[in-house]
Amino acid sequence: MKRRLVWIMLSAALAATSAVSVMAAETGSVIVSKTEGVADTVYGKVRGFIDEGTYTFRGIPYAKAERFQMPEAPDAWEDVLNCLVYGPTAPITKMTSPDGGDFLIPHRYWAQNENCQNLNIWTQSLDPEAKKPVMVWFHGGGFTNGSAIEGVAYDGKNLSEYGDVVVVTVNHRLNVLGYLDLSQYGEEYQYSGNAGIGDLVASLKWVQENIANFGGDPENVTIFGQSGGGRKVMSMMMTPEAEGLFDRAVVQSTNTSYQTQDAAQLVAAYTLENLGLTGDQVDELKDVPYDTLDAAASEAQKRVKEELGTGGSWVPVIDGDYLPAAPLDGGLQEWTNDVPLMIGSTFGESNSFSEVDPNTVNKNDWTEEEVSAKLEEKFGEKAENVLAAFRQAWPEKKDANAYYVDDSKRRAAFQVVDKRIESGADANYIYLVSYEPPIEGGVSLWHCGEIPFVFHNMDLLGVGASYGNTPEAYKLQDEMCSAWVNFARTGDPNGENVPAWSTYTADHEATMVFDAESGERVSFDKELQDLMKK
């Protein structure tokens, strides 16, 4: 369905009248209403708008927080709060030039503010008895960048409409504001290294308290996220604070690395040093302008990376308390054994981005000799064995694709599920998206490439172009979106539009391969993944 939006400015006249609604009857279907688009929260009423039948709320505050402190409940309000415009996103390092990957992954940027704890909702009903499945999206960008609206494909309208679900997307603190570990300087800063994770927990608490008034079922909440968002989902499975706040989890294209507290505290010490402050002056960090703080912390990270070989990026801190342990070291909480998990990746992940580099010879034009040379360059003496294993796993693909096949996110999915099986969790589903968009003669699906399919957003401006707008792509959109919605509804992705998909077990290593012709494969690429391990 083509998206039709008309922005309607609320005038002073509208505020002064008792008109029920304003509608663009001829040119669109956005309704801003004084009564129809209003919902209750425990903190006050919020007004959204109706977009082609979908109730839409933007920028609802779910928490508040002082710098480096864990979040608290937001302040209540008396008048109806207008939630027609997206709320501010977390501050990030200033960008000075466009992202070259924007064609593959269309982005947008917004006003930034440290008071960024807000969320957006799309729903088909405001009936508290509707009890529709709730899908809460944690955005990517690692723990450094991104926002709930950065990806154009994060828009939740079509997913809500197609799946008849309530979609929630969340903004939260990032980078130095969310993960600078100052715990060594006093109890006040005990959890500063995981303040951003605290925001996510607070958003899920808000959902539990309020989502029924938006037609959602607080007893059927699925959290899903991609890349850094996938690790945010995993972080919810690792913190005792999130117990009981969600019922299913989807981890898309992520890894399992976290920060040690020693490295995190060293970054904090060097940040203070870079600003000319001592540990006794830690409180002064609260007033340092963000850009200055960001620059000092970034330099500190570089220094720690040089000294320790780790600590060079913002990630949550394994502090033995809020996050007791890393996921592969027993960090997944025992109660998550009862939480069904869907986890997977794309065929090429970050390796694919070089496929569209205009300064390289397109892989589809490589000769047999060039394929051999490229594989030897990448895999050394293992090149021939890698190619043989690739042909066995992917007989339908060109040999050149062996150079681009993902060698990290796929393995992480196996590792996480293997750990869950050891702990007794038996509802695990693994997927791999191997569809090749036809641009440039065919490109291995890239990191973030599955998101438009999941959100049913192929028709959003700029999104479908990078996929070629093919019938195969639209069919795949229905299959993948249906799988995610089915999983959110029942904890099982099987159902209408989805090929038969088995749970992954030690004896039946099943993967749903999403492609132009989707289907389940069993134990088909473990040898390839093992050979590619660096």
Mean pLDDT for the stretch of residues 107-113: 89
333 and 384 co-located in one domain = no
Position 282 in a domain = no
Note whether 202 and 57 are same-domain residues. Answer: yes
Domain end point (choices 338, 371, 392): 338
* Positions marked catalytic: 227
Per the domain annotation, does 469 fall within a domain?
A: yes
Identify whether residues 234 and 354 lie together within a single domain.
no
Q: Is 345 found in the same domain as 204?
A: no
Measured CA angle at 337 (ends 335, 342), to 5 deg: 125
Say whether pTM exceeds 0.85.
yes
Structure letter (DSSP) for residue 41? E
Assess whether pLDDT exceeds 90 at residue 248: yes
> For residue range 19-54, what is the model confidence (pLDDT) as tens digits?
333 333 333 467 777 767 999 999 999 999 999 999
pLDDT digits (tens, 9 = 90+) for 214-246: 999 999 999 999 999 999 999 999 999 999 999
Q: Residue 155: helix, strand or coil by DSSP? A: coil
- Asked if residue 149 and residue 47 are part of one domain, the reply reads yes
Alpha-carbon distance 310 to 91, whole Å? 24
Is 309 part of any domain?
Answer: no
Ordered alpha helix ranges (H), 357-440: 368-379, 383-393, 409-423
Angstrom distances, CA of residue 50 to CA of 36, 84, 134, 165, 263: 8, 10, 19, 16, 48
Task: Verify that 407 and 362 share a domain, yes or no.
Answer: yes
Lowest mean pLDDT among 70-79, 307-316, 480-489: 307-316
Q: Establish if 300 belongs to a structural domain.
A: no
Residues 519 and 396 in one domain: yes
Q: Last residue of some domain: 279, 306, 338?
A: 338
In a domain, 23, yes or no: no
Cα distance between residue 157 and residue 124, in whole Å: 9
For residue range 361-386, list pLDDT tens digits in order. 788 989 999 999 999 999 999 999 99
Residue entry with tokens 């036809």: 438
DSSP letter string over 207-265? Answer: HHHHGGGGTEEEEEEEEEEETHHHHHHHHHTT-GGGTTS-SEEEEES-----EEHHHHH
Output the domain CATH number for residue 44.
3.40.50.1820
Domain total for the chain?
Answer: 2
| Pair (240, 346) in one structural domain | no
| 64 DSSP 8-state letter | B
What whole-number distance in Å separates Cα of residue 473 and Cα of residue 459? 11
Q: Is 157 a domain residue?
A: yes
Shared domain check, 399 and 329? no
Q: What is the amino acid identity at position 467? A: Y
Closest alpha carbon to 176 in 70, 68, 87: 68
169, 110: one domain: yes
What's the mean per-residue pLDDT of the chain? 91
Q: Is residue 329 part of a domain?
A: yes
pLDDT of residue 237: 98
User: Furthest-apart CA pair in the chain: how many Å?
Assistant: 77
SS3 content of the chain, % helix, strand, coil (to 5): 40, 20, 45
Last residue of a domain, one of 315, 338, 361: 338
437 and 464 both lie in a single domain:
yes
Tell me the pLDDT tens digit for each residue of 319-352.
Answer: 999 999 999 999 999 999 999 999 999 999 998 8
Together in a domain, 133 and 111: yes
Q: Looking at the domain assignment, is residue 73 inside a domain?
A: yes
Domain that holds residue 411: 341-532
